[in-house]
């Protein structure tokens, strides 16, 4: 983003709601200077001010700023850690490719368990094996994996949509394609301000005007951020949020 003649990093925060019918609605978007907790908090507070209520579940990755904002604004709402992003985090604890495949298969078995009790039993069995071969992985997984099992407290038919934040991937790709700036040296290709960038983003995602009119039916709200660096719009696959809203 170009501000006062200089190019600055910024983040575009987007919230998407999914109704009981499966229809998606963009609930809001805003431009922030970063993904710090204060910016996520203001964004969530703005959604509440517009009528968002009855939140039963939050689904996101483990981004620090988003996590802190969630605790500050919606402290009593259960949290589901995105299972997809959790599996991606395994790579920092397991280096060998063959071992990664084995660990990934074990995690999928846990996530696909018929109920939470069975998933917890499978996790304990996996932890015992990992403590021998991958002690650092076992130490991390003992805390991280249970955070991704909250979805088992909801009906089985809902778990496919609630277990990850993958529902935003198509929106992310389209937004990244339509807002990418290819010619950095020429200022006219850059958004002139945060207002200009927000206007360009809203033109693409077309947020709904009212949240309160959409909360009569079950809603899943997803929020994501795009990082704009040096005039090139780059969508972050992480830092996504879903709010399951029930009547």
Between 96 and 217, where is the model more confident? 96
- Residue 9 is predicted with a pLDDT of 73
- Average pLDDT of the chain is 76
pLDDT beyond 50 at 117: yes
Mean of pLDDT values over 139-147: 96
pLDDT tens sequence across 165-180: 887 767 767 777 766 6
Euclidean distance between the first and the last CA atom of the chain, given in angstroms as a whole number? 39
Cut 0.75: pTM above it: yes
**241 Cβ contact list (under 8 Å, min separation 6):** 15, 58, 59, 60, 66, 70, 165, 221, 222, 223, 224
- Residue 20 is predicted with a pLDDT of 63
Question: What's the helix, strand, coil split of the chain in %, to 5?
Answer: 50, 20, 30
pLDDT beyond 60 at 94: yes
Q: How far apart are CA 81 and CA 61, in angstroms?
A: 5
Between 181 and 60, where is the model more confident? 60
The H helix count followed by the E strand count for the chain is: 9, 9
- Residue 25 is predicted with a pLDDT of 77
Q: How far apart are CA 78 and CA 56, in angstroms?
A: 7
- Residue 186 is predicted with a pLDDT of 45
């Amino acid at each position: 983003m170009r501000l006062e003649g200089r190019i600055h990093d910024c983040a575009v925060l987007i919230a998407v709601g999914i109704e009981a019918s499966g229809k998606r609605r963009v609930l809001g978007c805003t431009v922030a200077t970063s993904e710090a907790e204060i910016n996520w908090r203001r964004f969530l507070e703005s959604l509440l001010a517009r009528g968002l209520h009855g939140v039963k579940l939050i689904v996101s990755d483990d981004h620090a700023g988003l996590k802190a904002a969630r605790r500050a604004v919606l402290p009593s709402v259960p949290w589901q850690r995105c299972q997809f992003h959790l599996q991606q985090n395994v790579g920092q604890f397991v280096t060998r490719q063959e071992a990664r495949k084995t660990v990934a298969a074990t995690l999928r078995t846990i996530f696909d368990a018929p109920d939470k009790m069975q998933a917890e039993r499978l996790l304990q069995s996996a932890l015992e094996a990992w403590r021998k071969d991958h002690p650092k992985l076992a130490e991390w997984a003992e805390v991280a994996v249970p955070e991704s099992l909250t979805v088992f407290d909801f009906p089985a038919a809902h778990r496919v949509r609630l277990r990850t934040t993958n529902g935003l991937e198509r929106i992310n790709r389209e937004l990244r394609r339509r807002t990418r700036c290819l010619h950095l040296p020429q200022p006219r290709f850059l958004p002139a301000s945060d207002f200009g960038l927000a206007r360009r983003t809203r033109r693409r995602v077309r947020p709904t005007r009212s949240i309160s009119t959409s909360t009569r039916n079950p809603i899943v709200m997803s929020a994501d951020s795009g990082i704009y660096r040096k005039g090139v719009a780059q969508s972050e696959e992480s830092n996504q949020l879903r709010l399951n809203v029930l009547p």
